[in-house]
Amino acid sequence: MPKKILIIDDEPDVVTFLGTLLRKNGYQVCEACDGVEGMKKVLEEKPDLVCLDLLMPEKTGLKMYREMRKDEHLHGVPVIMVTGIEAVDPWDFKGFKQFIHERSIPAPQGYIEKPIDKDQFLKAVREVLGE
């Protein structure tokens, strides 16, 4: 049974890219363009992995992550963070790390930096899914 991976990113190009990449590699893909939708999809689709873009408007990515982790059903779902490192925006990688540290939220299973390297991404996915 192919694993289902949920891609959450406000950037449609990224969704297209990652979607294509994953499908090409035999995964099932569902998409969301923000955290709110993402949350919905997670509950609906019950993916095996979530690829979450941190840098989204309204901090929905972050919110979603927190919610996921709080939710008893969802907190076990592995998450890979897709993000730009050292972005200027306060909601950057470091800020995120601090955020989760302060709030004792468990860290995501993986980090992927933009620009996204295909091979690295696939490798991380396989790792997280235990393949």
Partner 1 sequence: MRKLAEKLRVLSRSLGVRIAVSVGLILWISYVVFVYLMVDVHQSFYFDQIIREAERFSAAVINATNHSMLQDDRAATRSIIGDIGTHPEISNIRVYDHEGAIKFSNEPAEVGTTVDKKAEACFACHTEDKAFWKVRTEKRTRIHYHGDQRVLGMITPIYNKESCYAAPCHFHRADQKVLGVLDMGMSLKGFDAHVRSLVLEIVLLGTVTFIAVLATIGVYIVVRVHRPVSRLRDATKKIAAGDFTQKVVVDATGQLGELAQAFNVMRDQIRRRTQELIRSRWEYKNLFEQVPCFICVIDRNFEIVQQNSYMRDLFKGTIGMKCYEVFKKRTAKCEDCHVDVTFDQGQFSGKEHCGLKVTGEEANYLSYTTPVVNEKGQVLYAMIIAVDIGDRVRLQRALAASEDFQSNLIENSIHGIVATDEQGRVNTYNIAAERIFGYPARDVVGDSDLDKYFPKPFVETVLASYLGRRIDESRMVAQETIITSKDGETIPVRFSGFILFAPGKTVGAVGFFQDLRTFKQLEREKLASDRLAVVGQTVAGLAHGIKNILTGLEGGVYVVETALEDRDDQLLQRGWRMIHNNIGRISVLVKDLLGYSKERKPEYKETDPNLLAEEVCALFDIKAQEKSIVIERDFDPRAGKVFKIFLDQRGIHSCLSNLLANAVDACESDTGKGEHRIIVRTAQDEEGNLIYEVTDNGVGMNQETKRRIFSSFYSTKGSRGTGLGLLVTSKLVMEHGGRISFGSEEGKGTTFTIVLPPGKAAKPVVQDAEAGAERAGASDNRAAELPKPHGDSAGS
Question: Judged by CB under 8 A, which of 51, 55, 64, 81 binds partner 1?
Answer: 55
Kindly give the residue spans of alpha helices, DSSP state H, lying in the chain. 12-24, 35-45, 60-70, 93-102, 118-129
Residue 91's closest CA among 35, 32, 28? 35
Token reading at 10: 């406000």
Examine residue 21 and tell whether it contacts partner 1 (CB under 8 A). yes
Examine residue 93 and tell whether it contacts partner 1 (CB under 8 A). no
Q: In this complex, which beta carbon is closest to partner 1, that of residue 86 or of residue 102? A: 86
Give the separation between CA 41 and CA 86, rounded to whole angstroms: 29
CA angle 23, 83, 40 (to 5 degrees): 60
Determine the interface stretch with partner 1 among 6-14, 44-52, 67-75, 100-108 (rule: CB under 8 A): 6-14
Examine residue 119 and tell whether it contacts partner 1 (CB under 8 A). no
Examine residue 14 and tell whether it contacts partner 1 (CB under 8 A). yes
Interface residues with partner 1 (CB under 8 A)?
Answer: 10-11, 13-14, 16-18, 20-21, 24, 53, 55-57, 84, 86-89, 114-116, 118
